[in-house]
Structure formats: structure tokens, C-alpha cells
């Protein structure tokens, strides 16, 4: 029996028995968990590092440097008198055109400024006949309760479920992986809106700005964490069902139950207790229910345990509370009452029992802010501009200027894009797992670990009598290239390939169906390339491709990619590492140590190969087919659009060797030649053929 193409496309690598790389995710998650809040030092050390940690978090939210704090342009569009409290319908602009719709609940009869609550809403849609009234409608009973107890309560809509409906589901549902490349998360918009809501509360004469608390549940719980962590004007916090740790999200899979607004772009590879600890030493109540499927109890308890260590360290253990009630992921009275008591204790010094429940008394129409939506809103396209991308750089005026700019880009790539790569310890070790000669072609396979739990195979072909090739062509295979490889090589080497790790024998490639059978012409063309006995050809299928593909549905594959994202990586970012490590493995093989290496890749995998070539010199020529003109249209890499674009990467690669682009998309490729003129490259150094 030979090897089926279909079977090879969907077989599972040895690192998982459940269709995705469980062992890898477990190891990476454990690494971050073990490094989270485990070496606290002294209270002074913790305090001295807080500002640096705050800047990291702001950057991961896409709001460092902070956007300009312009005029809020606040407008009250209507008022309701409910006897013992009033409600103002209002909106403000956190940035020009970024509207925040809100209701302000005011107690009657205030004689002096009162404590205030910023309430941020979870995913409770209020949409009737295609009209969104804002999720403030779903949670308005909280605002009513606070006003009746003497608090000013500002309740704001979220981006996705406000009266103007933006997006939270870029990677979760819409395939907008470029959000990662831009360093964009809607959590950043929600945090910025919360910061600006605090600015608005400070403008109100009814508010005592020294006594502001913040709460919300589910998504609102998450935004409470983010805002409280970066803005100390929040004196008391009570996030409800808004946080758990990476073990729950990545290993247990709760990531699939959350849209992008729940997560920061994890550039600095935090586990979530680190976020929670940023609130210390201010009063913090962590609230959750015991049967919450998307914020599981065990993860919440792990977060609390680590955060308690920080509160103990800074001498504020009495300011940390843990509330666990019975029930599912739901806004229950059992959760509400202790939260109300928490704010009474710390904002009003009131320990008396709660005698009045939170009840809904208003209609959607009563709380609606806009009669007609503003035409200058940017809410629906905020993802396009909220995080600035790199400006087109000026052509360097000298080789020294170029070196300075190049080193800055390289540092950003290493620290802010590929910071999730493993530390290099020693050289790469590979073992030969196949050596066979068929029809005058010697095919060898070398298996190596790209990192613990990630086993890959290099395939190398040369004429049977060739011992020391002068040239070695290194091809990186995407899924389509892998299919073509199997159609060409399977009929000749199918039986032999069965011995390789992760390759399963399930019939011959010819049995895979119409249009995907053997292609002997491919193998004949390979033999022609090997003629002259001076060239060898190598192939690598990086993780998730070909023999190491994961046996998952399209929907499950999305959640695999999001798991990488939560770990401060991307799938294609880790494929760049695989490609680099594959190059290192080839150099370690005696037969190829003196070979001149030529690199070749197509489409998305060509972009991966380009970045590998930038960071891994020692090659002579780079052949790329079908390259996009922008990283936005290619694979996603953490934050890369914030400091560099594809033409700059091509210029950096061209310093190491010749670069040929065939069928590239039209773009600003002139920058490459301009750099070449400054550095006096020979005319054939870079060739760009536009599609």
C-alpha cells in the first residue's frame, strides 16, 4: 500500500492525540504560568516596576503612546425623571468621531459631590427591528440601584453592541488576522473609552472624583480589569466574570467562547494574573460563579491565588476579596448584592445590609441616546486607524543611516513580533529517518525538533551518486505546494515514506480522486533540475502543513490560531522559526555544509521565508513567487505593521543575497531599489517582476 494524498493532508503529528498540538500548547502555557508573579521580590521592587508594566499593558492594548485627550464633545440628548433618581441620555467622543453612548444615573437631592461608579456592559444585545439600543439597556438595573443608593453611575455602551455597532469579532469570526499584524484589539478601544469616561465623570459637579469605582460583568468585567490596571483614578474595582488564566483559555479551550475584545495583543507574554495584580493595592473584589463555562472556577481560583501574593507583599491583604456564587455565566442577584456591599464598604464606609434589589424599570426607548446615528462616526471602522501603522520611511541618506534604521527594525522584529520564539540553546540535532534511491534519485529525510513538542521533517533529493552538492535549493511548502509534492513524489516513493514520523499509509496517491492523482511530469522535472550532479533540492513543511497538519475543522483551526495569539505568538510567526531552524539543520549535515543555499517559497509561505531570510543570513539567493505588497494581505505576525512593511523587509533581505520577486503584487517596491542605490548594490541584486 502506498501513501494517500488525502491521508497526508489530514494526518495528525505525534505531538497531539486530539487533532491539535496539545503538548505544545501545554508546554508554552506552563512556561508563562510558571514565570507569572513567582519572583515578586520586595514591595519596593514591585512598586518601582509598576510604570514599566503599565506601559507594556498600554502598548498591548494599542494605546501607547496614549491617544490625544481632546475635547469630549459631550452632549446630553434627553432626561428622565423617575422620582427618586434621574437619567441623562448622553454621548461623548473618546476621540474625534469615536462615539460613546451612555446613560448617567443621578440620585435626587444631592447636597454634595457623591461617589461614582463607572459601569461597563457585557455582551447583552438590545436590538429590536434592526435598531440597536445599546447593551446599556440590558444592564440598566445596576445603574438604577446605584442611583437609589446615592451613587452617580455612568453606564457606557461597548463598541460592538452600542447604538453604533462596531466590531469585536475580527479573528474570532471574520478572518481579520491582520488585526494581529496591526497590533489591534477592540479591548484597546474599550479601555480607551473607559479612560475617557473617567475624564467625563471628573467634569460632573455631582461627582467626588476621589471616590470612583468601576464594575461590569463578562465583557464588562474584562474592561474593568483593563481600565483599573492602567488608570488609578479607579479607586475600587469589582470585575464580575471577566478573567481567567491562560491554562483555561489555551489548554481547556475557553478561548473559543470569547471574541477579541477580551484579550490584549500579548506582546510581552503575560498570563492574566499579571493583569489582575496591576490593581494592587487598591480594593479589588474578584467575583465569579462556580459553573461558569467561559470563566471556569479553577482558573479564577488560580488567578486569585497569585494576586493574593501581591496584595500580601504590599501589605494590602484586606483590600482583596474573592466572591464565588453558585450558578452559570449569568447576571444573578447572588453576584450583585456582594458587589454592591463592596462599593458601600470602600466608597461610603457603609457596612449595612442591602435591603433593595436591583430591578429593571426602564424601556429600551427611554434609554436610547440618538434619534439618528451621526454621519461622522468612525466606530464601524475604528479597527482601520485606532493603532497607527508605520509611516513610509524616508530613503536613508547614507549607509550609516541605513544601518541605524535596519538595526531598529531588527530589534522590533525580535522583541515585539517574534518575542514568543524559544531561546536558542545549542545547535539543532537531526536524525536521518529515510534514505532510499529510486529511478536514480536519492531521497533522504531528516527529522528534527523545531522546539520541544514540534517535530518536523526535512526532505532532500539529489542524484544518487552526488556526495557534496555545490548548490542546495531549500523550498518551504504551503498546503498547495505540499499537495503538488505528494502528487509528484508519492508514486515513486510512496511505500518508502510510510516510515516517517506523522506519515500514515492509507493507499496510493493515485487513489485520491479525480484531479489529484499522480503527476509523473513533476518528478521528471525534478530529475532535470538534479542533472549535472551539482544540485540538491530540500523541502520543509512547517507546522500545520502536510504530514504535520492538524485534523480539525475550519472552525477549530481558527481557535488553534487564536491560541497562538494568546501566547504572544502567531502560527505563521512560529512557522518563520521552523523555517530558520530547518536552515540551521541543513547546515549541520555534513553533505551540505559547503553548499550554496538558495531559498524558494510561494505566496504566504514566501512571506514566511522572506522574514526567515532577513533574520537568518548565510544564503545566496532568495526566490519568492506571488508576494503580496503589504503584510496586511499576507500571513499575520504580531505588531509588524506598527514598524515595518514588506518592501522594507525585502531591502533588509537583499543585504544577505540576491532577491528575485516573480509575480509580486503592485506596491511601493521603489524603496528597495532606492536603498540599493545608497548601498551601491550591483544591478542584478534585486529583480522585481510585478504581476
Cα 166 to Cα 158, 160, 162, 378, distances in angstroms: 9, 4, 8, 9
pTM of the model as a whole: 0.95
Query: Measured between alpha carbons, how far is 230 from 275 in angstroms, rounded to an integer?
Result: 9
Q: What is the pLDDT of residue 17?
A: 42
Residue 253 region by backbone torsions, left for phi larger than 0, else alpha for psi between -120 and 50, else beta? left
Mean pLDDT of the region 467-472: 93
* CA geometry: angle 98, 101, 107, nearest 5 deg: 140
Residue found by looking up cell 539543520 in the block: 585
Query: Measured between alpha carbons, how far is 396 from 684 in angstroms, rounded to an integer?
Result: 21
Q: What is the pLDDT of residue 520?
A: 80
Grid coordinates of 150: 446615592
Domains and CATH numbers, the chain: 42-384 (3.40.50.1820), 405-414+430-503+516-690 (3.40.50.1820)
- At 129-171, the pLDDT tens digits run 999 999 999 999 999 999 999 999 999 999 999 999 999 999 9
Grid coordinates of 21: 498540538
Strand positions, DSSP E, 303-381: 320-325
pLDDT beyond 70 at 16: no
Query: Measured between alpha carbons, how far is 283 from 89 in angstroms, rounded to an integer?
Result: 30
Q: What is the pLDDT of residue 594?
A: 92
Q: Helices 603-615 and 571-588 sit at what angle, rounded to 10 degrees?
A: 60
579: how many CB neighbours lie within 10 A of its CB? 27
Cα 323 to Cα 222, 240, 279, 304, 535, distances in angstroms: 16, 9, 17, 10, 68
Q: What is the pLDDT of residue 518?
A: 76
Query: Taking Cα atoms as reference points, which of 229, 255, 309 lies closest to residue 56?
Result: 229
Q: How confident is the model at residue 519 (pLDDT cuts 50, 70, 90)?
A: confident
- At 54-100, the pLDDT tens digits run 999 999 999 999 999 999 999 999 999 999 999 999 999 999 999 99
Amino acid at each position: 500500500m502506498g501513501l494517500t494524498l488525502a491521508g497526508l493532508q489530514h494526518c495528525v503529528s505525534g505531538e497531539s492525540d486530539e487533532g491539535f498540538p496539545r503538548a505544545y500548547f501545554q508546554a508554552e502555557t506552563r512556561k508563562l504560568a510558571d514565570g507569572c508573579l513567582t519572583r515578586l521580590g520586595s514591595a519596593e521592587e514591585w512598586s518601582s516596576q509598576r510604570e514599566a508594566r503599565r506601559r507594556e499593558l498600554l502598548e498591548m492594548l494599542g494605546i501607547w503612546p496614549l491617544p490625544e485627550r481632546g475635547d469630549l464633545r459631550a452632549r446630553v440628548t434627553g432626561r428622565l425623571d423617575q422620582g427618586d433618581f434621574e437619567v441623562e441620555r448622553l454621548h461623548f467622543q473618546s476621540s474625534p468621531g469615536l462615539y460613546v453612548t451612555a446613560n448617567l444615573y443621578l440620585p435626587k437631592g444631592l447636597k454634595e459631590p457623591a461617589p461614582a461608579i463607572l459601569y461597563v456592559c457585557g455582551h447583552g444585545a438590545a436590538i429590536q427591528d434592526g435598531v440597536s439600543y445599546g447593551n446599556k439597556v440590558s444592564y440598566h438595573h445596576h445603574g438604577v440601584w446605584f442611583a437609589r443608593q446615592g451613587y452617580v453611575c455612568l453606564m457606557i455602551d461597548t463598541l460592538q453592541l452600542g447604538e453604533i455597532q462596531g466590531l469585536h469579532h475580527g479573528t474570532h469570526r471574520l478572518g481579520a488576522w491582520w488585526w494581529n499584524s496591526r497590533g489591534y484589539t477592540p479591548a484597546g478601544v474599550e479601555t480607551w473609552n473607559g479612560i475617557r469616561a473617567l475624564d467625563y465623570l471628573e467634569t460632573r459637579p455631582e461627582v467626588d472624583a476621589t471616590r470612583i469605582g468601576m464594575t461590569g460583568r463578562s465583557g464588562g468585567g474584562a474592561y474593568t480589569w483593563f481600565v483599573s490596571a492602567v488608570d488609578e483614578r479607579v479607586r475600587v474595582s469589582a470585575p464580575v466574570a471577566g478573567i481567567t488564566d491562560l491554562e483555561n483559555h489555551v489548554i481547556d479551550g475557553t478561548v473559543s467562547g470569547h471574541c477579541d475584545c477580551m484579550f490584549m495583543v500579548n506582546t510581552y507574554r503575560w498570563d492574566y494574573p499579571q493583569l489582575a495584580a496591576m490593581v494592587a493595592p487598591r480594593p479589588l473584589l474578584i467575583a465569579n460563579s462556580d459553573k461558569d463555562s467561559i470563566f471556569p472556577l479553577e482558573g479564577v481560583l488560580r488567578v486569585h491565588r497569585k494576586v493574593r501574593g501581591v496584595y500580601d507583599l504590599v501589605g494590602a491583604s484586606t483590600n482583596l476579596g474573592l466572591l464565588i456564587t453558585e450558578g452559570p455565566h449569568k447576571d444573578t442577584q447572588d453576584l450583585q448584592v456582594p458587589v454592591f456591599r463592596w462599593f458601600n464598604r470602600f466608597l461610603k464606609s457603609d457596612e449595612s445590609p442591602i435591603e433593595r434589589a436591583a430591578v429593571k424599570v426602564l424601556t429600551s426607548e427611554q434609554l436610547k441616546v440618538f434619534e439618528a446615528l451621526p454621519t461622522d462616526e468612525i466606530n464601524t471602522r475604528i479597527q482601520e486607524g485606532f493603532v497607527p501603522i508605520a509611516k513610509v520611511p524616508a530613503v536613508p541618506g547614507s549607509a550609516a543611516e541605513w544601518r541605524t534604521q535596519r538595526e531598529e527594525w531588527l530589534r522590533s522584529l525580535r522583541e515585539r513580533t517574534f518575542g514568543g520564539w524559544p531561546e536558542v540553546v545549542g545547535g539543532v540535532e537531526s536524525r536521518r529517518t529515510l534514505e532510499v534511491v529510486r529511478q536514480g534519485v536519492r531521497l533522504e529525510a531528516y527529522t528534527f525538533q523545531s522546539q520541544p513538542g514540534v517535530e518536523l521533517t526535512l526532505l532532500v533529493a539529489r542524484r544518487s551518486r552526488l556526495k557534496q552538492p555545490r548548490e542546495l535549493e531549500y523550498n518551504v511548502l504551503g498546503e498547495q505546494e505540499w499537495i503538488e509534492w505528494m502528487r509528484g513524489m508519492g508514486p515513486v516513493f510512496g511505500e518508502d515514506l510510510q516510515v516517517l514520523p506523522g506519515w500514515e499509509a492509507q493507499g496510493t496517491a493515485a487513489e485520491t480522486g479525480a484531479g489529484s492523482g499522480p503527476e509523473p511530469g513533476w518528478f521528471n522535472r525534478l530529475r532535470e533540475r538534479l542533472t549535472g550532479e551539482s544540485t540538491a533540492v530540500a523541502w520543509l513543511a512547517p507546522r500545520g502543513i502536510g504530514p504535520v497538519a492538524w485534523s480539525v475543522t475550519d472552525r477549530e483551526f481558527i481557535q488553534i490560531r487564536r491560541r497562538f495569539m494568546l501566547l504572544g505568538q502567531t502560527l505563521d510567526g512560529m512557522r518563520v522559526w521552523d523555517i530558520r531552524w530547518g536552515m540551521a539543520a541543513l547546515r549541520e549535515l555534513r553533505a551540505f555544509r559547503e553548499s550554496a543555499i538558495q531559498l524558494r517559497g510561494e505566496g504566504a509561505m514566501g512571506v514566511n521565508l522572506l522574514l526567515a531570510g532577513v533574520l537568518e543570513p548565510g544564503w545566496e539567493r532568495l526566490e519568492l513567487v506571488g508576494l503580496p505588497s503589504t503584510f496586511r494581505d499576507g500571513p499575520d505576525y504580531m505588531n509588524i505593521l506598527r514598524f515595518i512593511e514588506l518592501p522594507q523587509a525585502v531591502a533588509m533581505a537583499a543585504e544577505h543575497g540576491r532577491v528575485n520577486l516573480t509575480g509580486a503584487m503592485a506596491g511601493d517596491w521603489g524603496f528597495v531599489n532606492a536603498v540599493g542605490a545608497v548601498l551601491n548594490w550591483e544591478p542584478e541584486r534585486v529583480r522585481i517582476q510585478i504581476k
